[in-house]
Structure 1
């Protein structure tokens, strides 16, 4: 291995760990991996065609997210989250995003507002599609434009961390009938308040937007066992 390849190895393993974390996290929340299932490092490494190093890191992060239980000298166990834990995280997300919107209303530049408006135009166009994935990708662009306009690096980092943890749940609730069109309407209110430099209005509109998502998610949570652990119900079952 060349010196440049050695230097790039940690960065590559970090990217691999992040990919594995995302996929396994979605598997857990969608019920493909159930509470009590063992996580085999070897099988996971084979599945993703990677070494065990990024697998161990991904499992460690999942444990920090509350989705996995680590046990000394034994395989990790899938834990999952309770409905209460999931909805608690959505409440926190609503407050973080509200803070971003409030600061964006105070600090945004004309160029940043234009970026938000352009992303919202694309969200509006995609809201009528049956697949929520394209809408979600553009929705991410819109929200990240708001995070950037807030001008607070720490707030942006923490918001992104929790947003990424809830990614698959936010996509799933987008499959509810009419949800994407309603989401686009809610975006209009957020951007209008930001553009008017109405800090309180922007925070309230964004908070309401996230609270609606959390309420939609309540309809998609199903108990998997007596412990109260849940997974997201597939709408086309």
Structure 2
């Protein structure tokens, strides 16, 4: 089976509410390729390694969370950017990228998928943070100590997880933001939650966690954002009866 580029673009843009969400990059089709799509590859970041893997898989479309053309970057098409674009264009591969729209989606979003992985319940968005759903909170059915949650995260995500703050404190209520969400730790504290999970850590985040008594986990930007694009691809494959392959390019960050 196959789908046209326009059909896929319209479906994804509509479902992910692209027109409603302001972002730091264009969401949707970023590089035009073949009009007929018979194989799709999904992945976290449109690195050269993932582009090469999509070529090897004979994909007509690549769907990622981190694409190209970020606000503030050089507009010159040279070096690394030239090589990536040249590979996509010469192999007629469409590149679709969904950043914040994929973070916040209530079913396929990164935050929702991490919650499902951890068994978090009663999920709701933190009010006042835009776009709605970029930071969320919920609770575990049973309390878990911080050090035990660290072990659980490491097992599920397959990577080392940094823990700071009170490591043995029982955790029931928590907030989370996949990727680079460490700057939201104070909003998490204001909610009165026991813990905050995100992908990255900054120097000041450690002091905030220690001084404000919240257990903080940095579980990896890449690791916490594998699951949104993977679940989105699985949905597309079922919806349109098109083969979809998730390819995970290792990234320790």
For normalisation by structure 2, the TM-score amounts to: 0.26
More strand by share: 2
Task: Report 1 or 2 for greater relative contact order, CA contacts < 8 Å, sequence distance ≥ 6.
Answer: 1
Structure 1 or 2: more helix by fraction: 1
| TM-score, length basis structure 1 | 0.27
